Structure 1
Amino acid sequence: MLGCVIHGQGDLRVDTLPVPEPGAGQALVAVRYGGVCGSDLHYWRHGGVGDFRLREPMLLGHEVVGTVVSYGPDATGPAIGTAVAVHPATPCGVCPECVDGRRNVCRDTRYLGSAARFPHVQGGFADHVVVPAEQLRALPEGLEPLRAALAEPLSVALHALRRAGDVRGREVLVTGAGPIGCLVIAAAKAAGAAKVIATDLLPAALEYARLAGADVLVRADDPDDPGWPVEADVAIEASGVAAGLDACLRRVRRGAVVVQLGMLPPGQSPFAGNLVVSREIELRGAFRFDSEFDEALRLLASEAGFDALVSAVVPVRDAEAAFELAADRARSCKVLLDFGA
């Protein structure tokens, strides 16, 4: 089978690999689509994500959908031949965070395509992948695999909204209109937000934000843009840069909630901390997701508007071209690898 393997910084290869066999409690899935994520791009460009550095070749990918092929001993799940999405996280279940119901911040989790552990947890960018059977989710009726490939990043967006609180009837500022930011916009509108303001530096990204449902588009580098909110009710920072967080803190009302979703660069990041004090702004982090994965599949089954965010579907043999396209935000939003072409 073919697999998209990162061997080191800038060294992405489509390797020929043996088809794996499912072990006890595992399922073998024939992958159809895999979404290229920002973390995949970081491994390709920089050889790591934050403090997680590559120490061995690793299959990338954690946004995957496919079809159940077989099960190993003592494994049960959707019937063979069923179209499924794969939840990429395997929390430990016993750490204080898991016991407290916050499995998304489990201190000993396993996550597809991650170098946080050694040996690394191999990812899902291959023709076939073996995963714990309990991580399979049958696609709801009417949900096509291509749209279902958005389930993982949409889950991230839904968790950020959960951290923000009820957005019904509220004005929401979203800084950063990359794939995650656009999914936050779409999810906020689906949740009943009255007005969503999206900011970004790139016109192409703002156009995707419009397609996602943003009511107002703002050039992030123009402080005089009339679209900037005076006092937004909620802000979600999805750009991963300190300037985005600063804008959120300065553009929300007193007592508002600001959610930091974008992963900031390693080390210290300056921000307007005095505003957190003087305006009693609640600054909350949002990391990955848990049960939101099932919610994401239900939402994708009921809303067709998400399709506009898939900007390209590229055969896995052309994986490097797909990564180059995904890294160019002037040309793309969400790029999918096609393993069934």
Structure 2
Amino acid sequence: MLGCVIHGQGDLRVEELPVPVPGPGQALVAVRYGGVCGSDLHYWLHGGVGDFRLREPMVLGHEVVGRVVSYGSPDASGPAVGTAVAVHPATPCEVCPECADGRRNVCRDTRYLGSAARFPHVQGGFAAQVAVPAGQLRPLPAGLGLRRAALAEPLSVALHAVRRAGDVTRRHVLVTGAGPIGCLVVAAAKAAGAGRVTVTDLLPTALEFGRIAGADILVRADDPDDAGWPSEVDVAIEASGVAAGLDTCLRLVRRGGVVVQLGMLPAGHSPFAGNLVVSREIELRGAFRFDVEFDGALELLAAEASFDGLVSAVVPVREAEAAFALAADRSGSCKVLLDFGDRAA
């Protein structure tokens, strides 16, 4: 079977891999679509994500959907063979203090598909078939197709970030960065009842995807005279992963407001306007991955067809490097999917 393996910075290969054999408690899934995530791009472009560096070849990918092929043991429980499913990519340890506290998304010993956070690395889902714990399979709600369902993982990230912000009902929410995650944060904030959502970005195309996601106001981040700039906002969610975005959030959020840092900043120290956190009593919160939001993401995707507009390209797996290059070019794309199946699937 074919799979996408990263060997080092700039070294992405589509290789023949052995078909995995599911063990006890595992399911074998025939992957149909895999979404190219910003972290996948970082492994390709930089050899790592933040402080997580590649130390061995790794199958990329954690945004995968497909159909159940088989189970590793006759008594395994899960969706019936042939069922269309989304794969929750995290396997928390369930015993650490964070898991015991209900914060499994920051489990200190979690396994996450396609992640170099631990060694040996956890191999990912960009392969024609993958073996995963059966408990991580989620059958798709009625009416939700596999193509749109491929957005479930990044939408879960967005839902968790909005949840970390607290109640946004009728609030003015600022989102810095209109990449795929930023656009999904826009959609998640609107779904949570935000009264107004402003999104900023450097690129006009990215802002247009922000409009598709439901943003009320679009602002060019490099234009201080843009008429859309708010005087202040109630909540700011930083989704660009650059220090300038965090600075914008801290300067525009109201006194006593909440800033959520969602974008992964570069490794090492990042400067930020810390005095504003003190003098305005701003609450600065991190948001990392997700947990129970995955099921809510699938329900939201099933209910709202507008998410289809955020999938800008579907590329056959044999052309994976072209797909990665397209995903990295934010002037012309939003979410790019790899296609591991045939058109009749």
Say whether the fold is shared (TM-score over 0.5): yes
Amino acid at match of 1:10: G
Kept in 1: contact 2:78–2:134 (CA 8 A) = yes
Cα-to-partner distance string for 1:205-258 (whole Å, 9 max, x where unaligned): 111111111111111111221211112011000001111111111111111111
Amino acid at match of 1:95: C
- Tell me how far apart the structure 2 counterparts of residues 54 and 231 of structure 1 sit (CA, whole Å): 41
Aligned positions of 1:44-83 closer than 5 A: 44-73=44-73, 74-83=75-84
How big is the shift at 1:40?
Answer: 0.5
- Tell me how far apart the structure 2 counterparts of residues 56 and 132 of structure 1 sit (CA, whole Å): 23
Cα-to-partner distance string for 1:284-314 (whole Å, 9 max, x where unaligned): 0000000000010010010111110000000
Amino acid at match of 2:179: G
Amino acid at match of 2:65: V
Amino acid at match of 2:265: L
**Residue matched to 1:201:** 202
| SS of alignment partner, residue 258 of structure 1 | strand
Amino acid at match of 1:241: V
Amino acid at match of 1:150: L
* Overall identity of the aligned pairs, in %: 84
- Tell me how far apart the structure 1 counterparts of residues 149 and 311 of structure 2 sit (CA, whole Å): 11
Moved more, 168-177 or 69-78: 69-78
| 2:240 paired with 1:239 | yes
- Tell me how far apart the structure 2 counterparts of residues 12 and 75 of structure 1 sit (CA, whole Å): 35
Amino acid at match of 2:2: L
**Residue matched to 2:4:** 4
**Residue matched to 1:27:** 27
**Residue matched to 1:14:** 14
**Residue matched to 1:211:** 212
Alignment length (residue pairs)? 341
Amino acid at match of 1:84: V
| 2:149 paired with 1:151 | no
Amino acid at match of 1:236: I
Aligned positions of 1:239-318 closer than 5 A: 239-318=240-319
How big is the shift at 1:191?
Answer: 1.5
- Tell me how far apart the structure 2 counterparts of residues 199 and 258 of structure 1 sit (CA, whole Å): 15
How big is the shift at 1:75?
Answer: 2.1
Runs of 5+ consecutive residues of structure 2 not aligned to the other structure: none
Amino acid at match of 2:94: G
- Tell me how far apart the structure 1 counterparts of residues 270 and 313 of structure 2 sit (CA, whole Å): 34
- Tell me how far apart the structure 2 counterparts of residues 54 and 253 of structure 1 sit (CA, whole Å): 40
- Tell me how far apart the structure 2 counterparts of residues 237 and 53 of structure 1 sit (CA, whole Å): 23
TM-score by length of 1: 0.99
- Tell me how far apart the structure 1 counterparts of residues 58 and 255 of structure 2 sit (CA, whole Å): 46
Kept in 1: contact 2:50–2:265 (CA 8 A) = no
How big is the shift at 1:177?
Answer: 0.3
Amino acid at match of 2:132: V
- Tell me how far apart the structure 1 counterparts of residues 23 and 158 of structure 2 sit (CA, whole Å): 33
- Tell me how far apart the structure 1 counterparts of residues 134 and 165 of structure 2 sit (CA, whole Å): 32
**Residue matched to 1:95:** 96
